[in-house]
Every structure is written in structure tokens, then in C-alpha cells.
Amino acid sequence: MKKIIQSVTLLAIIVVAIACQRNAITGRKQLTLVPESEAQSLAVSQYKSFLNTNKVVNGTADAVMVKRVGERIVTAIKKYYQQKGLSNELDGYTWDINLVNDKQMNAWCMPGGKIVVYTGILPITQNEAGLAVVMGHEIAHALARHGSERMSQGLLQQGLGAGMSIALSNKPQLTQDIFNASYGIASGTIMPAFSRSNELEADRFGLMFSALAGYDPREALSFWKRMSGAAGGGNTNSILSTHPSDAERMAALEKIMPSTIQNYYKKS
């Protein structure tokens, strides 16, 4: 038995070592059992399923605003990636932005740029700059491939370390559940959506993206204060789930605010 345990442990170490790749934007090595192409492929089907089973809002002032803010951020991201010589990192991205009628204070972005904002978060964002904070943050999660990182961890936890293709073949529903939990689409109990370090990373790059799109990054401090107060009501599926403490988040944002304003913000 001891030899079996040692062999399994060694195999896990080897799998993790082989599967670690450096993210082009963050520069950090990540566990990557889920290739971006496979994550995007699964995202297409899961996104379609989500839209078919939820009420998409079209034609209203809020829906138009969500698309406008999202498109400005996407344009800024494309330009930034082009300037950095990283346009290939956006291969496969077919951006789509929707507002969904749901009282949850939530938003997310799947691999490939599939973005959903819930109506429940709009009273907290209050304005376009506040909405840009949320959308920039969620898009940053996707571009930093935090979801794929979390999904890889989830596959390992479930003994599905051979990769997503085999996991989908053997346990399709479990794999889809891990996907949804990993990208913040469902609260679930498989695993928390994102770690604290992932959240702070998404804050940093999300702030940069929203500033590049012409939105005042200082609104981030006001938004997270409002969000913190609203989350005190006990919403268990809010955007703050598993996130850093208010003090930690505010301190991190305040630290990077001057350089973000100086280097990236141009008032539109």
C-alpha cells in the first residue's frame, strides 16, 4: 500500500510539473491541465446553455450600456495586446456580451470572451466607470486564465488529472460542473471560484484594462466600498465570494492607483 501511495504521489508531482506553463500577461507559472482551445470549446456550449436557460435583457438602456462598456474595454485590450506583440494570445476569442435578468450581484467572463453581467450588480456599479471595474476584473480573470488554473486543480481533486478531454468522456456532468464552478458561473460545492491571489491579480489587470478604455480607475475604490456594504446582506453567490478582505483589497488598489492613472488612464 505504501508503494502504491508513493507511486500515485510521484505521478501527481510529474503531472503537475509537466502541466505548469507561464502566463504571457501575468508572467506567473500556472497549472494547466486544460488547454485554452479546449476551455474555449467547452465555453461555447456552456455559454449557449446558460443563455438558453436564463433571461437575456435586450434593447434597454442598461443592456446597451453593458455592451458599450464591454466593447470599449475589449477594444483597449486588443490594442494593448497588439502593442505588446501578444495578439496571438487572443486567438479563438469571439467576444460576446450580455446582460441577464438575475438579482445576484455577479458577473463573469468565460474563455474566448463570453461575458455576462447580472442585473443585480447594476445598483452597485451605479455608473459606467463602476461597471467597467466589474467587467475589467472579470475579463482579467479570463485573460490570466485563472479559470483554467482552478479547473485544473478541480480535475486533480476529482482524480481526473489526465486532462479535460478524457474527463469529459468519462464524467461529462462532473467536468461541466467543475467548469462552471471554476469560472464563477455557479456557486456549487466542488471548489471556490477563485483564490485570493487570483482576485488581487484580476483587480490589478482589470484596473489597467478599464483605465486603458478611458474609465477613471479611482471609481474602483468607491465601487468596492459599495459592494462590501451590499454583500453584508448575506448574498452567498456574490462577486465577493472567497475574495480578499476589504482592507487587503483597498490597500492593494490604493498602492497601484497612482501608477495606473499615470501610465494607462486617458480621460475620454
Query: Residue 28 corresponds to which cell in the numbers above?
Result: 506567473
Query: Residue 211 corresponds to which cell in the numbers above?
Result: 483605465
CA of residue 245 relative to chain centroid, distance: 18
CA of residue 147 relative to chain centroid, distance: 6
Burial class (CB in 10 A: 0-12, 13-18, 19+), 160: buried
Give whole-number Cα distances, 12 to 15, 19, 126, 153, 193, in Å: 5, 10, 47, 11, 23
Strand, helix or coil for residue 155:
helix
Give whole-number Cα distances, 118 to 66, 84, 99, 222, in Å: 10, 32, 6, 19
Of the listed 36, 38, 128, 138, which one is catalytic? Answer: 138
Count Cβ atoms below 10 Å from residue 234 Cβ, excluding itself: 6
Q: Name the β-bridge partners of 115.
A: 97, 109
Query: Residue 177 corresponds to which cell in the numbers above?
Result: 460542473
Strand, helix or coil for residue 24:
coil
Please say if 128 is a catalytic residue: no
Strand, helix or coil for residue 235:
coil
Residue type, 180: N
Query: Residue 27 corresponds to which cell in the numbers above?
Result: 508572467
Query: Residue 206 corresponds to which cell in the numbers above?
Result: 482589470
Query: Residue 231 corresponds to which cell in the numbers above?
Result: 454583500
Catalytic positions: 138
